[in-house]
A and B are shown apart, each in its own frame.
Chain A
Amino acid sequence: MVGTLYLSATHTIFVENNPETRRETWVLHSMVASVERPPTTPSGSHLVVHTKNFQVVQLLIPQERDAMDVQASLARLSQKYSELYCLSINPNANKEEREESWSFLDLQADYRRMGVPNNLWVSTPANSEYRVCDTYPSELFVPKSATPPVIVGSSKFRSRGRLPVLTYFHQDTLAAICRCSQPLSGFSARSQEDEQMLEAIMKSNPGSDYIYVVDTRPKVRGHWCESTIRILLYCVLMMIISLQLNAMANRAAGKGYENEDHYANIKLQFIGIENIHVMRNSQQKIIDVGELKTPSMGDFLWGLESSGWLKHIKAVLDAGVFIAKAVAEEGISVVVHCSDGWDRTAQACSVASVLLEPYYRTMKGLMLLIERDWVSFGHKFSHRYNHLEGDPKEVSPVIDQFLECVWQLSEQFPCAFEFNERFLVQLHRHVYSCQYGNFLGNSQKERRDMGLRERTHSLWPQLWKDRAQYANPLYRADHTQTQGMLRPNTTPYCFKMWKGMYNRVEKSSPPRQTPTDLLTAVREETQQLEEELTNHQEVAPGGTAQPGTKQGIQTRSRSAPNERCSLRPIYNFINVLLSLLITIN
């Protein structure tokens, strides 16, 4: 394609020269992951733009100087908060709409839907103004028997003050899922308050006499004899830390997991989800697999295996399955943590919720779940998804893996989810895009301090407005798959590479037949027929036809939701920096 490249304040826009099609390609600046400029060739300078949702745009620019300018501009534009798309929209233009958009989801209502607060779990004001933990939401639910000193004491004993609090309550069994960060137990440190806290959690579930403590990290091999190993350990401590041997290093550094001798009635369970660094590398490998040019079957399968990606997805799903089974089948409450309790813990808790609760398999339910387990509990969105140039070691595809678990589940249970794959892909896109304020910042407190509710719009009502295109035609609220808990098969052969995410290349080729689209069309037609049928039937018994009802139904013109429409005015502000010859592969 040959065309003209425009750089606006928010987008890179490529418009094809062909006057008939004038195809446009828009890339949001904040979606740009990297811009490479391979050595200049006689035909011009290449620019390879990688986006954060794994698309690749290749540009050929005739003048080297122009290419360098574009590269430099993109590098600047994609890294400024003040120029982030969500903040550059004038929020006062429709103030009411904006305020309404933020009240679209009500987390407290979702807790009430779960039956919380009740006589077992109560809301505590301990964290108002984020006094106890600045990465937690201000409103927390704790066992009724947990006194303020216990809450404060427990939080002091937990990494970054992230004490055990309720995230999900199962009304049928009265078992709960609680989340926290690792205890600062070191080799022998203990905290009575923290022990009392876990005791209180156990007692909040009247039917059981123990709880599971799920450490989502890989377990340290072998049994320790602390006294003999301690000296040795300190010698290799520095080395271990540099190797990031997870729980082992953490323990030596004064962090770790609960000592079963100190905590009565707990059962420790290690799950073995790897850390963010392993996941980052693994995802890079699977992206590479998706971008392989004409690989052989062997190359592909080997790449898939050596990326380890599906292994990690399986680990996350297994963690969710363990927790869900404990809660629903055994009726045992579970306390989940990893190190800081904002990555693997968020994954494990939210997967468990999806498995346990049909509501979280609906569009609104999944939005609420992300709002609760990820947004409100301080998943570090800005760091993990590199919204601004930050520490590359902080970046990791944590929520990508959660969304993929949901996708893998939807492949096993095609009727269980209200939404289709497109919904998940769209969610993934917006986690990275910064087009809305939802995922900016790293905690509720940060978002409040930034005044995001006043300065940006919320994504959720936008998705809801477009729900027709995200609907799964096979979903029926009264279907057996929709009811109760999902029990997925997690044998390795049940996992597939998510082509819709990692193989976008194929997406650019002519669209193939998808049953989803066909069935959606059929259902829409069915609905129209139903309407027509009622129209006819209203008339038929009387025997005389009213003139108005003759046509039956009019073709409904659904205005295609087009988010670009609203961007049209931006065209006026476009500085036409360059008018260039470009090819896009």
Chain B
Amino acid sequence: MEFAELIKTPRVDGVVLRRPFLPTVEGTLCLTGHHLILSSRQDNTEELWLLHANIDAIEKRFVGSLGTIIVKCKDLRVIQLDIPGMEECLNIASSIEVLSTLDSVSLMYPLFYRPMFQVIEDGWKSFLPEDAFKDLESMTEEWRLSDVNKDYSVCSSYPPLVAVPKDVDDDTLRKAAAFRHGGRFPVLSYYHKKNGMVMMRSGQPLTGTNGRRCKEDEKLINATLRAGKRGYIIDTRTVSVAQQAKARGGGFESEANYPQWRRIHKAIERSSILQESLIKLVEACNDQSHSMDRWLSKLEASNWQTHVKEILTTACLAAQCIDREGASVLVHGTEGTDSTLQVTSLAQIILDPACRTIQGFQALVEREWLQAGHPFQQRCSQSAYSNSKPRCEAPVFLLFLDCVWQILRQFPCSFQFSQHFLVLLFEHTYASQFGTFMGNSASERSKLNLSQKTVSLWSWVNRPQEVERLSNPLYEANCLVIWPSVAPQSLLLWEGVFLRWKRSSRCLDEAYDEMVHIIQYNKELQNKVNNLRRQLAQLETEEPLLQTP
């Protein structure tokens, strides 16, 4: 196997492993093509199995002939390996460096992984667009499923099937696609059952400096408006950023050409700024020597919480336009693959109770992120520790998860899942044995034939034991729209991710267990009491019979 060339020293004995909250382990370190393994070969100590893909950066240090490798993971954990022997240490370090930065998709672990669990339901088939459309069909007849993109020729980042207004033909769609960034013509994102209003998303219109227009594009989005009603276009960029985009061929919908639409600009930052923000935040969290002043000023300087607030505010705005104003909404930024998706998916969590269930949330991620063409592979190839210059990396999806956590924290009873599910998704977007988050679009995934060659994360998640682990004990189905507070006081740092390896969560976990216990005990008693009530009722009806001779 070609990995063998990259592994100069496959195993070293007497390696000491130090990691957060777990006792130090001494054992044998093994390198395989995809894993770094440390085992003490004793039954009672936990082994370390670390995917190379999870390693973000390493540092080496030497004291005499004792080498130390600090491994910084994409899930923000930092572990330390003390390796006796300078040569071994150097070999291990260089192997890790190469193995953790392999670019070739064909060498990625999901293609080699064979599940050790029984797949009950194939996750690759759990959330097909056809099925999602059936739900829509039951609510309205104004939309159709178009296969204009069946060979990915109209828009390379769209799936083969998209929902569009019934009255708009494929030809119009093709022309509208030519007018939108990346061919991302406006498509249906969400249908609000309560009042029939919709949310659409797209790329920016290519108006350029001379104000190009496209009748087909106008026709397409106007087709979603009711007679005499106005709609809202939410541009996730500020006015000035949108203006500047004109110089590069982009732009925004002008009032003159889109008189039925009101345009609102918000200020969600571009991806490179988000990455910088993540790096600063993680750095602030990792330095435990800060004084209170320094910690707060570094937290502020990272701007992370500002992004959370801005994204949530924009999502609330979109949801408000739909639910309160009774208007349809089109959301876009520049490409329509990042901030646009944050807004459309969060708005759905606010509006649609189905998205707050375990299955519904998976469907949302599948629909609004995977199918919608968020470039996961590009965005998540590096995390907060990487020394190499970021190219397209950005914690766009992590910010979305953070926002979901904020809503979950404010409405602890309205979600079927707990924060464990969000943390799990965060981990798997950065390094995974499953094929779900590989590739950058539906077309890339289909070219790689991932649905045949890899296991889906959803296959793992939807097993009963995992569903139970991810469930929120406080959940009580809530069919209402939930409006989160976006005041800074209401938004907290997501400890479950950013302080996860810094402060022990033992006491909080205990509280969680206690909560589960209280609720379970209550349910048990309910069952018992109901049983007894039934028995009692039975006895009472039987009694007269017994007394008759």
> Which residues of A are interface residues toward B (Cβ below 8 A)?
290, 294-302, 304-305, 308, 310-311, 314, 412-416, 473-474, 476, 479-481, 489, 491-497, 499, 503, 506, 509, 512-515, 518-519, 522-523, 525-526, 529-530, 532-533, 536-537, 539-540, 543-545, 550, 552
User: Of B514, B526, B539, which contacts A415 at CB under 8 A?
Assistant: B514
Residue of A nearest to B310 (CB): A297
Q: In the bound complex, do residue A522 and residue B519 qualify as a contact, i.e. CB atoms below 8 Å apart?
A: yes
Quote the shortest CB–CB distance from A503 to chain B (angstroms). Answer: 5
Q: Is the CB of B306 within 8 A of A512?
A: no
Give the docked Cα–Cα distance between A479 and B514 (Å): 9
Q: What residues of B have a CB within 8 angstroms of the CB of A494 in the complex? A: 503
Q: In chain A, what residue has the closest Cβ to B296? A: A305
Give complex CA distance A496, B504 in Å. 17
User: A232–B535 Cα gap in the complex (Å)?
Assistant: 93
Q: Pick the contact of A310: B296, B522, B532 (CB < 8 A).
A: B296
Complex contact A539–B489 (CB within 8 A):
no
CB distance from A354 to the nearest CB of B (A): 15
Residues in chain B near residue A300, CB distance under 8 A: 488-489
Q: A295-B488, A299-B488, A412-B507 are in contact. List 7 more A-B contacts (CB 8 A).
A: A296-B488, A311-B292, A489-B503, A497-B489, A512-B410, A514-B412, A540-B535
Nearest chain B CB to A255 CB, angstrom units: 29
Docked complex Cα distance between A418 and B125 (Å): 49
Contact B411 A513 (CB under 8 A): yes
B193 at the interface (CB under 8 A from A): no
A79 to B490, CA, bound (A): 36
Per-position binary interface string of chain B over residues 476-511, scored 1 when its CB falls under 8 Å from any chain A CB and 0 otherwise: 000000000101111111000001001110011011
Are B489 and A499 within 8 A (Cβ)?
A: yes
B299: nearest chain-A partner, CB-CB: A301
Other-chain residue from A481, A525, A550 in contact with B522 (beta carbon distance below 8 A): A525
Cβ-based interface call for B441 (8 A)? no
Task: Please give me the 4 A-B residue pairs with the lowest Cβ-Cβ distance, nearest first.
Answer: A300-B488, A414-B511, A492-B295, A305-B296
**Contact residues of B: prevailing secondary structure:** helix
- B306 nearest in chain A by CB position: A297
Contacts of B492 in A (CB 8 A): 496
**Smallest Cβ distance from A322 to chain B, in angstroms?**
17
Enumerate chain A residues within 8 angstroms of B487, measured Cβ to Cβ: 294-295, 506
B533 at the A interface (CB under 8 A): yes
Chain B contacts for A544, CB-based, 8 A: 539, 543
Q: How far is the CA of A550 from the CA of B540 in the complex (A)?
A: 10
Judge if B525 is at the interface, Cβ distance under 8 Å: yes
Residues of B within 8 A of A522 (CB): 518-519, 522
B300→A305 contact, CB < 8 A: yes
Query: B392 at the A/B interface (Cβ < 8 Å)?
Result: no
Give every chain B residue within 8 A of A537 (Cβ-Cβ): 532
Interface residue from A297, A311, A491, A514 paired with B488 (Cβ < 8 Å): A297
CA distance A509 to B484 in the complex (A): 12
Q: Which residues of B contact A550 (CB under 8 A)?
A: 536, 540
- Does B290 interact with chain A (Cβ within 8 Å)? yes
Complex CA gap A513/B413 in Å reads 7
User: Chain A residues near B292 (CB, 8 Å)?
Assistant: 305, 308, 310-311, 314, 492, 495
Minimum Cβ distance to chain B for residue A483 (Å): 12
CA distance A414 to B506 in the complex (A): 11
Binary interface profile of B, 260-285, with partner A (CB < 8 Å = 1, else 0)? 00000000000000000000000001
> Which residues of B363-419 are within 8 A (CB) of A?
410-414
Instruction: Tell me which residues across on chain B come within 8 A of A302, comparing CB atoms.
Output: 297, 300
Q: Report yes or no: B536 in contact with A529, Cβ–Cβ below 8 A.
A: no
Among B297, B508, B526, point to the contact of A414 (Cβ < 8 A): B508
B490 touches A506 (CB 8 A): yes
Question: With a CB–CB cut-off of 8 A, which chain B residues contact A514?
Answer: 412
Tell me if A415 and B510 are in contact (CB < 8 A): yes
Q: Is the CB of B511 within 8 A of A474?
A: yes
Known: A301-B300, A476-B514, A519-B518. A545 touches B411 (CB 8 A): no
CB B398 to nearest CB in A, in angstroms, measures 17
Q: What residues of chain B lie closer than 8 Å to A476, measured between beta carbons?
A: 514
Cα A296 to Cα B493 with chains together (Å): 16
Q: How far is the CB of A494 from chain B (nearest CB, A)?
A: 7
Q: How far is the CA of A519 from the CA of B513 in the complex (A)?
A: 13
Task: Identify B412's interface contact among A414, A491, A513, CB under 8 A.
Answer: A513
For the complex, give the distance between the alpha carbons of A414 and B518 in Å: 14
Chain A residues with CB under 8 Å of B489's CB are 290, 300, 497, 499, 503, 506
Instruction: Please tell me if B241 contacts chain A, counting CB pairs below 8 Å.
Output: no
Q: Is the CB of A301 within 8 A of B412?
A: no
CB pair A297–B474 under 8 Å, yes or no, is: no
A403 to B297, CA, bound (A): 26
Closest Cβ of chain B to A411, distance in Å, is 9
- Known contacts: A297-B305, A497-B489, A499-B489. The answer to whether A492 contacts B290 by CB under 8 A is yes
Give the nearest-CB partner of A491 in chain B.
B288
A281 to chain B, nearest CB (A): 16
**Whole-angstrom distance between the alpha carbons of A72 and B543 in the complex?**
77
- The reply to whether B485 and A506 form a contact with Cβ atoms under 8 Å apart is yes
Chain B contacts for A299, CB-based, 8 A: 488
CB distance from A260 to the nearest CB of B (A): 28
Contact B511 A526 (CB under 8 A): no
Contact residue among B291, B510, B515 (Cβ-Cβ distance under 8 Å from A492): B291
Q: Which of B295-332 contact A (CB under 8 A)?
A: 295-297, 299-300, 303, 305-306, 308-309
- 16 A-B residue pairs with Cβ-Cβ distance under 8 Å, sorted by A, are A298-B300, A298-B303, A305-B292, A310-B292, A311-B292, A474-B518, A479-B514, A493-B493, A493-B499, A506-B490, A518-B474, A525-B522, A526-B522, A529-B525, A533-B528, A545-B540
Task: Tell me the bound Cα distance from A489 to B505 in angstroms.
Answer: 11
**Nearest Cβ in chain B — how far from A566, in angstroms?**
34
Given known pairs A414-B507, A493-B285, A533-B525, the reply for A519 and B297 (CB within 8 Å) is: no
- The reply to whether the CB of B117 lies closer than 8 angstroms to some CB of chain A is no
Instruction: Point out the residues of chain B lying under 8 angstroms from A515, CB to CB.
Output: 412-413, 474, 515
Give Cα distance in the complex from A492 to B543, angstroms: 69
- B144, chain A: closest CB distance, angstroms: 39
In the complex, chain B residues whose CB is within 8 Å of the CB of A503: 489
Report B-chain residues with C-beta under 8 Å of the C-beta of A513.
410-414
Contacts of B308 in A (CB 8 A): 297
Question: Is B536 a contact partner of A545 (Cβ separation < 8 A)?
Answer: yes
In the bound complex, CA of A310 to CA of B474 (Å): 31
Give Cα A493–Cα B493 distance, bound, in whole angstroms. 9
**Shortest Cβ distance from A530 into B: residue:** B525
Write out the residue numbers on chain A whose beta carbons fall within 8 Å of the beta carbon of B518: 473-474, 519, 522-523, 526
Q: What's the minimum C-beta distance from A299 to chain B, rounded to whole angstroms?
A: 7
Q: Which residue of B lies closest to A310 (CB)?
A: B292
Residues on A with beta carbons closer than 8 Å to the beta carbon of B522: 522-523, 525-526, 529
Once the chains bind, are A297 and B514 in contact (CB under 8 Å)? no
> Residue among B488, B493, B514, B518 with the most chain A CB within 10 A?
B488
Residues of B within 8 A of A512 (CB): 410-411
Residues of B within 8 A of A530 (CB): 525
B529 contacts A by Cβ under 8 Å: yes
Provided the pairs A311-B293, A506-B489 are in contact, do residues A415 and B507 lie with their beta carbons within 8 angstroms?
yes
- B529 touching A539, Cβ below 8 Å: no
CA distance A513 to B290 in the complex (A): 34
Chain A nearest CB, measured from B330 CB (Å):
27
Could you tell me if B491 and A297 are in contact, using CB atoms closer than 8 angstroms? Answer: yes
A305 CA / B301 CA spacing, docked (Å): 12
Residues in B with CB closer than 8 Å to A497 are 489
Q: In the bound complex, how far is the Cα of B535 from the Cα of A550, in angstroms?
A: 12
The smallest C-beta distance from B94 to any residue of chain A, in angstroms, reads 35
Chain A nearest CB, measured from B181 CB (Å) = 29
A304 x B296 contact (CB < 8 A): yes
Pick the most buried of A415, A509, A533: most chain B CB atoms within 10 A of its CB.
Answer: A415
Nearest CB to that of B507 among chain A residues? Answer: A413
CB of B531, distance to nearest CB on chain A (Å): 9
* CA of A497 to CA of B155, assembled, Å: 48
| In contact, B488 and A526 (Cβ under 8 angstroms) | no
Chain B residue nearest to A503 in the complex (CB): B489
Query: Is A474 a contact of B515 with CB atoms below 8 Å?
Result: yes
Report yes or no: A491 in contact with B503, Cβ–Cβ below 8 A: yes
